[in-house]
Amino acid sequence: MSGEESPVPGRGGSCVARCLGIGLAAVWACVLTLHAAGSFWIDKQVVVQPIQMGSSDGSAWANIDLSIYEAESDKIWAQAGIDIKFLSAVQYQNSTYLDISSSPWSANSLLSLAGGSGHAQHPDPTVINLYFVRTIDLSTSVYGYSLQTTAAYGMVFPQNGVSIANSAFGYASGNGMRDIFAYELARNLGLDNDTLGAPSDPMNLMKTSGPYPTSLDDIFPTGAGYGHLTPEQIAMARSTTFASDLAPGDQYSYYDEIPEPASAAAVSAGLLALWALVRRRSARQ
């Protein structure tokens, strides 16, 4: 059949071979791009104690699902070399604080809750206490509030105290405000909306208006890049007493879950072997 076209099976083999060759290149391109763009060395850790607020009689609770958006917080803070470790949640029942106020003079203020003794705080002062509450200032549009290092109401509040309202989990039709934990923790770590380069960085973690990330994919360094931190912010957060050093054996590369080049080589070897087999079969047809 000299001069005639190859049979259809041979064409199929040739197509598969080409596709495998393209796939081989794509594997390396994807792995190396992701590894280069999003690999951060984690050598510090911030520990957080979640505290679920409930009414005195136990009939009402905040954040019933105990969502914490840990993956999102870790992704944001990885650029600073910081791991966010959430301890197991504890509960605290007191109807006074199920709905809290941002005013320091209110009986149900966060200052009173986080600063008063016996409110389920962690005994270690370097652990950040994070309270899940039903509402803040009785508003559905207030998502979180923290005690800060910057002056407010004419005074500087203690640094350790974070609150997250149920509204944060209902944001964007229930997708949730995925950077809310990272944002509120940042205030305990010395970051503010108007300092350390935040105002000139449109995708900065501390930006004061939306949109905000509603999925892990849109958090820096991927997708829309929400939650970016400036070098000044990173230096500030890492210098606080809340950011403790990890032992050398506990340090890690944040993107360990993305195949390292060695793993990519193994995948590539398999694809290459399959490619060669298809080429041989195609030549016989």
Of 52-56, 189-193, 242-246, 262-266, give the lowest mean pLDDT range.
262-266
- Is 179 a residue whose pLDDT tops 90? yes
Of 126-135, 140-149, 215-224, 238-247, give the lowest mean pLDDT range.
140-149
Confidence band for 148, pLDDT divided at 50, 70 and 90: confident
- Rounded to whole angstroms, the Cα distance separating 161 from 176 reads 21
Closest by CA to 109, choosing from 95, 96, 120, is 96
Confidence band for 285, pLDDT divided at 50, 70 and 90: very low
Closest by CA to 43, choosing from 211, 275, 253, 213, is 253
**In the numeric block, which tokens belong to residue 230?**
């400036």
- Rounded to whole angstroms, the Cα distance separating 45 from 70 reads 13
Q: What length does the chain have?
A: 285
- Is 250 a residue whose pLDDT tops 50? yes
Give tens-digit pLDDT for 32-66: 444 445 699 999 999 999 999 999 999 999 999 99
Give tens-digit pLDDT for 164-176: 999 999 999 999 9
pLDDT at res. 158 = 60
Say how many Å lie between the first and final Cα of the chain, rounded.
Answer: 12
**In the numeric block, which tokens belong to residue 64?**
């019933």
CATH number assigned to the domain covering 37-250: 3.40.390
Higher pLDDT, 154 or 12: 154
Give tens-digit pLDDT for 190-214: 998 988 999 999 999 999 888 899 9
The secondary structure of residue 215, as a DSSP letter, is S
CB 133 within 8 A of CB 100: yes
- Is 243 a residue whose pLDDT tops 60? yes
> What residues does 139 pair with on adjacent strands?
136
The secondary structure of residue 104, as a DSSP letter, is T
pLDDT at res. 269 = 52
Sketch the domain layout of the chain as residue ranges: 37-250, 261-285
